[in-house]
Structure 1
Amino acid sequence: MPETGQRVTASRVWALRRAIGQRLPLGARRWLVSRYGQAFHQWDRLSDLVGLTVRGWGEKPQVYLPHYRIKLHNIWRTYETHPPLRYTSYPLAALCHWINAVPFPLRKACVIECEHILALAGDITRWEHGLHNLDSINRLVEHERCRFVFTYSAGLRDHSRRYLRSDLWPKFDYLYPCFPSQGEYPRPDPEPFTILSIASRFSDKGIPEALEAFRVLRDRHGARVRMIVVSQMVPADYPLPEGVVVYDTPRMSDSLKTRLFRSAHVLFIPCYSDSAVPIMEACAYGVPTISTHIHHDDEFVRDGVTGYLIEPPVYAYSEYYGTRWPTWGEFLADLEKMRDRGELQTVVDQAVDRLEMMISGGVDLVAMGRAARTLHAERFASEVRNAELLGIYQDALNARHYAVG
């Protein structure tokens, strides 16, 4: 493990790309990203066809899933590493499985996976785009060839439903994402107590509050506690408390992920927006989680059983989505104003209280870790997701609406 206070770049390619990007004008960066994305998608479509030729043409039911999409998100990568079946090419498919981006008009029967129903407008971070295209989204879901639409939790489903006509609700539900099960391993030594935070962004993932909570704990316990932050979004000039190591990477390798989770006593993500993937991973490794009580309720963290939920004063997928914050940028700006006014200090205080119980031995971390593994086996294991998904495919081909559970 690197010395505390260090920033570790886990990917040389990422470091090089960022160094080049920081020296280019914004317009040039956008142009390159656009061209890179187009070239990547075309190459991936070609390699997918080559792979299908080598491996065979899929298996029944013959389902097409756009291979180029699955590299864009950790949830979707499991369709490559732990698929429910061998997918086929578009011309041979009897059913399509689209993710967020859906070609319209629909030419074949399909199921649609989305991060939120508004993501079907094209960009989940552009709230205003989704809100301005509700008619198009509802027409898509209503289409006869659209057999079923699913998101990733009951909380996301319930928040999404406010933007969907009630007569379409039977076609829209949720399917928990998955992460592969992990084997047992020796528990880390009691000291130093290691807090792990993982975030794809900075402000809305609560990293400022996580670092402030650790600052309090470090003042109390000294070198008995340490913190590992995995994020490429921590500003270079942001003051880090003593005892923090930052892994500056957009995505962990499997070996790094295993090493960090096996060294951690708790995963700490005081987020104000969606952050389910690291929690699923923590459950698989038997690591308790402290997170915020947001739209997922207790679906990913069972309070007092697999970890703790703390109450945030605000979170994105609430009644204020699209009203108090018409855009994603306005949500982030409001979050910063609340932080400056001290209104997010309650998150820090609650987190310190829960972490103190863990550090002092007032919590049975072994029992919590065991409960987390049980929750993973029941809800987030690859086998569970795949069995449900195959049922969705079969019912879609039979022109039935699939009912989860």
Structure 2
Amino acid sequence: MKQSVILQLKNITKTYTHRPGSAFKKHHQTIVLDNVSLTLKHGELLGLLGPSGCGKTSLLRIVAGFEPISQGTVEIAGKVVCTNCDSLAPEKRNTGMVFQDYALFPHLTVKENIAFGIQNKRKNRYGELSPQKLVSKSYIRQRVAEVLELVGLTGLESRYPHQLSGGQQQRISLARALAPQPTIILLDEPLSNLDIQVRHRLRLEIRSILKAAGTSAIFVTHDREEALAISDRVAVMRHGNIEQVGTPEEIYLNPASRFVAEFVTQANFLPATRKNQFWITEIGEVEIPENDCAKNDDYSEKALYDQGDLMLRQEDIILLPDLSSEIVVRERQFLGKEYHYCVETPSGKRLYARSNLNQAISVGTNVNLSLAISSPKIFPVSSSAAKQSLAKIS
């Protein structure tokens, strides 16, 4: 069954104009979002992933109605809620918001915090909120009990926020957002204030809770593991643009640009030059079909496909001790379930590899590198850029 589109973002542009002052002598315009188009399907969890300042939180706030736009349209459930000329108020958009700092009312109990979002609101048969009819107290009690059970915190309804742990507070924040049964839940880096163990546990719980509720959601994060673990699809953002949209597997295994490969997979890049069907690097030659050449951010149509950067994921590099090799292990870190190595090539290039605990290679050991995959990805570069990189090898 094909999923229906619940949110449609069309050509969203957001700019700020700075007037002349101490910082700028003339009018200066900052582009926060540049012609962004995106869809969210019913029941889907979409992750917005990118570094700080890429525009992901601004995009979330535009959907929520907290920020105006310079150009484009926002449609929720087939209804236009925002253009550059008009914008529906946040409380009329039927969205729920989960904030980074929980934003719970400290003077209200858990049940009062959750009930706050559903008081004086009722949905009509079209899914729109109708303030004319008050919600009964019995319905509020029933709904509070339902969402408390959904987030696994039944029995804590009489406690105050300060009596809860950080993880419990965030689950109450999620319960409050879910209580009015919104069309979309918006989560703005909800796990960033939690310690690592709680984050790992809660990211799986959040996905299970949202799936059980059947709610569509957008999840903003700069943590690639969170995005891959929680999302059905991931939109990777950079400089106000969307670099790639796809499933977590597609994003990780087949990055569309070098930026996505660096940010999501934390891959190594090794200068390479083509010789017939092979690509020659300082660690050896690799056969790569033409179709496996990927897009490079700085690549132009005039550039030749004879120079490139070979992408090597850390887990795809196999280290084997070899006294005749000029590649040396410079660092080794024990990470509990695996070792993390840094090796240095003859040109001074540093590459990073991860391996299991079956064999520990000492720092200073000469090693040979082999690949666990038959055809790694190559990102073409212009001839001039490649010559500068390859000059260091020779």
Shorter-chain TM-score: which interval? Answer: under 0.3
Greater fraction of residues in helix? 1
Q: Structure 1 or 2: larger strand share? A: 2
Q: Work out which structure has the larger RCO, using CA pairs closer than 8 Å and 6 or more positions apart in sequence.
A: 1
